[in-house]
Amino acid sequence: MSKPGYAADQNPRILEGNDLKALAKYMKSDSCQNVFLMLGAGVSTSAGIPDFRSPGTGLYANLARLNLPFPEAVFEIGFFKKNPIPFYTLAKELYPGRFRPTHTHSFITLLHSHSLLHTCFTQNIDTLERRAGVPAHKIIEAHGSFATQRCIDCKTPFDADKIKKAVLSEEIEIPRCERRRCKGLVKPDIVFFGEGLPDQFHKSIRNLRKADLLIVLGTSLTVHPFASLVDLVPNDCPRVLINLDEVGDFNKPDDVLFLGKCDDIVRELCKELGWEEELDAAWEKTKDSLDADKQERELEPEPEESTEDEVEKITKNLEQALKVNDKNDEKQPSSKVSDVVQPELVE
Ligand code: CNA
């Protein structure tokens, strides 16, 4: 259950209080026209996708036990060039289609249908915002996504069906560029450590000046430049953090924190807004896309798995892939994330 919201010592100036009732009242007022969101992996954990940093269930804690030079190596471009197998093993587990959007994703579609959503900035690569029905032009996938892919050398786009087939085949095939004389490695357009963020991200940052409300959900706010977006809204714009734990620096009078699971807090907020039935109806609709995908991948309906089970499975598969790779290539890459990370995407 969520802790009651609280903010800095000063009384809020724009909101009437620091609880969900006051937030809902503000959202329904004429003063609140442009809502901006910042999302992180925590909005997708209830879909069964592990985040990076939650102790125990986070991917990093689990990858740490594998024979990787460092856990982040799976998402580091220098390491990928030397050894793409760990990333593709992980990609197989995380590939879009297996996971259903959460109630929090459906809440975003409601913000849109109530003409409140200006932009949803997301760090997530799972495309669950789109699958929940949020229009593509409202989403900025700051760290890219699995939606498109290209050769890392000549940048030629690669066919979506072909990469899906390669990734999901029993024995993962590492996709290679089909241009004559290139044959470079193909990678989904996910931003790795060591790569720049999409132009669209940089272009849309200036819109934050128009924000009447910023809601930050399910992120540790440790990856920059994304994390610094919280400082780019106007000084008098209320900022709301919905997260399991307290993160970032929320000390302004109209900063409000709700600590707990985002699906629970979003439901409470929807109750205050009178949107609870709409939330359930919107979430109900998300089932269809998942079923279609499951059929496409010829998967039997799976029993519900906990995030712990999912992480254990991913780690085991990765362990297996690394063992196979060890046999093929005795020489282990030895780069460290600090050698290659560029200022664009840093922790
Ligand atoms: P993170 O650093 O793993 O932090 C996640 C945060 O969410 C933590 O503060 C958790 O306490 C919190 N959290 C976890 N579960 C919940 C919940 N149910 N309700 C509320 N809060 C919760 O992840 P960030 O997103 O901050 O880090 C940025 C990385 C993670 C980006 O580069 C992503 O690409 C990457 N990532 C994405 C996914 C995905 O697409 N679903 C999954 C794992 C990692």
Q: Per-residue pLDDT for 85 more than 70?
A: yes
Residue-wise pLDDT for 236-276, tens only, equals 999 999 999 999 999 898 999 999 999 999 999 999 999 99
Least confidently predicted of 30-39, 115-124, 229-238, 307-316: 307-316
* Residue 223 in contact with ligand 1 by CB distance below 6 A: yes
Run of H or E including 189:
strand 186-190
CA distance 259 to 244: 5
* Residue 54 in contact with ligand 1 by CB distance below 6 A: yes
Q: What is the pTM of this model?
A: 0.85
Section 152-161 average pLDDT: 95
pLDDT at 342: 29
The type of residue at 129 is: E
Burial readout 168-201 (b: 16 or more C-beta within 10 A, e: otherwise): beeebeebebeeeeeebbbbbbbbbbbbebbeeb
Q: Which residue among 38, 43, 52 has the greatest number of ligand 1 atoms within 8 angstroms of its CB, and so is best to mutate?
A: 52
Q: Per-residue pLDDT for 298 more than 70?
A: no
Higher pLDDT, 158 or 5: 158
pLDDT at 325: 52
Give the residue numbers marked as catalytic: 143
Pick from 43, 42, 44, 36: nearest CA to 215: 36
Pick from 126, 122, 123: nearest CA to 91: 126
Distances in Å between the Cα of 295 and the Cα atoms of 98, 109, 175, 219, 304 are 10, 25, 24, 32, 17
Residue-wise pLDDT for 335-346, tens only, equals 322 222 323 444
Beta-bridge mates of residue 171: none
* Residue 261 in contact with ligand 1 by CB distance below 6 A: yes
Residue-wise pLDDT for 218-241, tens only, equals 999 999 999 999 999 999 999 999
Determine what percent of the chain is predicted with pLDDT higher than 90.
58
